[in-house]
Amino acid sequence: MSDDIYNNVTKTGSERMNRERVEMTVDIYESADCVGDHDFRTESNTQQPLQNTGSDSVKTRCSRAAPVCLVLLCFFLLIAVIVLSVFIYTNNTNYTKERRQLITNITNLTGAKDELTNLLKERDQLIKQLQICCKEAVWFYYQSSFYYLSNETKSWTESRRYCRDRGADLIIINNKQEQDFIMNITGNNEFWIGVTDSEKEGIWKWVDGSKLTSRFWASYGSITEPNGETKENCAVTHLKKHPELKGWLDITCNSAHQWICEKNI
């Protein structure tokens, strides 16, 4: 009897323990299911849309920013190309101007060198000519010309030949200052000058073929030079026998008189 009771009690206690264990297991699983449903289903349903929305926004911003950056890059590249082109063009223009200026300077220097060379040659020739001339007589210098007054007398033609043999010619009087200079150095003596109308009567020309621009013919009372017509085709500064006549007088070319040579520099 006692064994049966013990067995029943033991059996009852064992069953109760098994039942409580089963209930606890069921509770644990239910709790686990609740936790699982809460963590993965609930949070997944609530947080997933937020993650998807942020990703789409970032992608949209990136997709918009890329073309803008590309446009800006192209714009800056275009500006750089324009600035570089202007810089190159400006430099090329300056180089071209400097090159032209340099060529002009070289040309001017070359011209100046040639001119200087010619002047040196003329100087050497003049020195040689003056050396030849000055061996025999004294030459006077006045207004870029040398003048020689002879001490002997010859005809107009022979006098001119003497001057030409020495690189000069009979004097050509171009202005009042030169006329006064000649009158002062000749005094009252008679000197041939380089004017004649032997080619055509009444058309007086200098020995270089030029016409008279300044005329200093003598005149006194009713006497006016030139007045010798075809008999008197050459001229002298003045005549001793007519001291009242101040200026040129026409006389025969074969008469003998002193002469004046002129050498232009």
Average pLDDT, the chain: 77
Chain Cα centroid distance, residue 43: 86
* Model confidence pLDDT, tens digit, residues 74-84: 888 889 888 88
- Are 237 and 183 a contacting pair, CB within 8 Å? yes
Q: Is the dihedral of CA 176, 179, 184, 189 positive or negative?
A: negative
Contact yes or no for 235/196 (Cβ under 8 A): yes
As its CATH architecture, domain 138-264 has Roll (3.10)
By percentage, how much of the chain surpasses pLDDT 70? 71
Distance CA 257, CA 245 (A): 17
Give the closest residue to 124 by CA, choosing from 265, 252, 242, 234.
Answer: 265
- pLDDT tens digits, one per residue of 168-201: 999 999 899 999 888 888 877 889 999 999 988 8
pTM comes to 0.51
| Cβ–Cβ under 8 Å, residues 199 and 179 | no
Domain boundaries along the sequence of the chain: 42-133, 138-264
Strands of the chain, DSSP E: 139-142, 145-149, 169-170, 191-196, 205-206, 219-220, 223-224, 234-236, 249-251, 258-264
For residue 113, give the H/E element and its range.
helix 43-133
pLDDT at 69 over 80: yes
CB 181 within 8 A of CB 231: no
